[in-house]
Amino acid sequence: MSTETVAAKKSEALFSKRRKAIVTDPLDDDNPVTVQVLGICSALAVTSKLEPTLVMSIAVTFVVIFSNLIVSLLRNAIPQRIRIIVQLGIVASLVIIVDQVLKAYLYDVSKVVGVYVGLIITNCIVMGRLEAFAMANKPYDSILDGLGSSFGYAWVILIVAFFRELLGSGTLFDIRVLPEAYVNNGLMTSPVGAFIIIGLIIWVQRWRNGYVEEA
């Protein structure tokens, strides 16, 4: 976990090794879903079709990046005693803005994901990044951290959605890809299917990386 403040040199390159690591770590070795096991609820709930999952990924990316940026900018001004409620206030406001924009411009999608967009407030990835990173790091680094974490979340749920929609409904983005003769797998349309696929992703990833849970 990149929780410690790394004293950055004044003339650090825009894409230095350290900064690249901030973005790439959460994609694989430090993935919020598969390694830190955060944000699982929404990964189970919104992944039955690709379209709402994509919208959810974009919404989470927006919220994580901007809340990271805002909290990082204010990190020296936020009083320690009320920092959690300040973070929550910022996250909640961003979530409401996303929800309102979806209602205005993507009404059909918002009918499907509306409930879950509201629940981004309780997504541990968002609060986790604010507490662990943005409160102690500079704005640019915080943006990179938000980018890494949200993409780490996004690729996992997009893969889950890909298999759930393909096997559960025989479609991708609501376009029929499997032959009509294919019998839809009801297990995949229910949240149980998401559990199985996330489990498989975690298995493959840990086998590949040789990750071992600390005792």
Partner 1 sequence: MQQSNGYVIGFAVAMTIILGGVLSFTAVSLNEKQKEEIALDTKKQIMLSVLPEMSESPKSEIAQVYDNRIQVVGINGKAIDAAVLQKLDISKEWKKLKKGQDAILPIYKFMSKDGKSVDSYILPMYGYGLWNDIWGYFALNSDLQTVRGVVFSHKGETPGLGARIGDKEVQDRYIGKKIFNGGKLTPIFMVKGEGHADLPNYEVDGLSGATLTANGLNEMVDRYLKEYKPFLEKGASAVSMAQ
Q: Please say whether the beta carbons of 117 and 99 come within 8 A.
A: yes
The first and second tokens of residue 50, run together, are 């690709």
Please name the amino acid found at residue 140: Y
Asked whether position 13 contacts partner 1 by CB under 8 A, the answer is no
Asked whether position 90 contacts partner 1 by CB under 8 A, the answer is yes
Q: Please say whether the beta carbons of 148 and 27 come within 8 A.
A: yes
Please name the amino acid found at residue 23: V
Asked whether position 80 contacts partner 1 by CB under 8 A, the answer is yes
Cα–Cα distance for residue pair 120/147, rounded to 1 Å = 16
DSSP 91-147: HHHHHHHHHHHHHHH-HHHHHHHHHHHHGGGG-HHHHHHIIIIITTS-HHHHHHHHH
Asked whether position 215 contacts partner 1 by CB under 8 A, the answer is no
Asked whether position 173 contacts partner 1 by CB under 8 A, the answer is no
- Which segment (20-28, 82-90, 136-144, 177-185) binds partner 1 by CB under 8 A? 82-90
Phi, psi of 36 (to 5 degrees): -85, -10
State in angstroms the smallest separation of the CB of 109 from partner 1: 11
Report the Cα–Cα distance between both ends of the chain, in Å, rounded.
17
- Which segment (32-40, 89-97, 132-140, 150-158) binds partner 1 by CB under 8 A? 89-97
Asked whether position 101 contacts partner 1 by CB under 8 A, the answer is yes
Q: Please say whether the beta carbons of 33 and 156 come within 8 A.
A: yes
Q: What string marks each residue from 37 to 66 as x (binds partner 1 by CB under 8 A) or -?
A: --------x---------------------
Asked whether position 183 contacts partner 1 by CB under 8 A, the answer is no
State in angstroms the smallest separation of the CB of 177 from partner 1: 17
Asked whether position 105 contacts partner 1 by CB under 8 A, the answer is yes
Cβ contacts of 96 within 8 Å, gap of 6 or more = none
State in angstroms the smallest separation of the CB of 124 from partner 1: 22
Asked whether position 89 contacts partner 1 by CB under 8 A, the answer is yes
Which one, 11 or 80, has the nearer CB to partner 1? Answer: 80
Cα–Cα distance for residue pair 70/83, rounded to 1 Å = 13
Which one, 79 or 179, has the nearer CB to partner 1? Answer: 79
Per CB under 8 A, residues contacting partner 1 are: 45, 77-82, 85-86, 89-90, 93, 96-97, 100-101, 103-105, 107-108, 115, 189-190
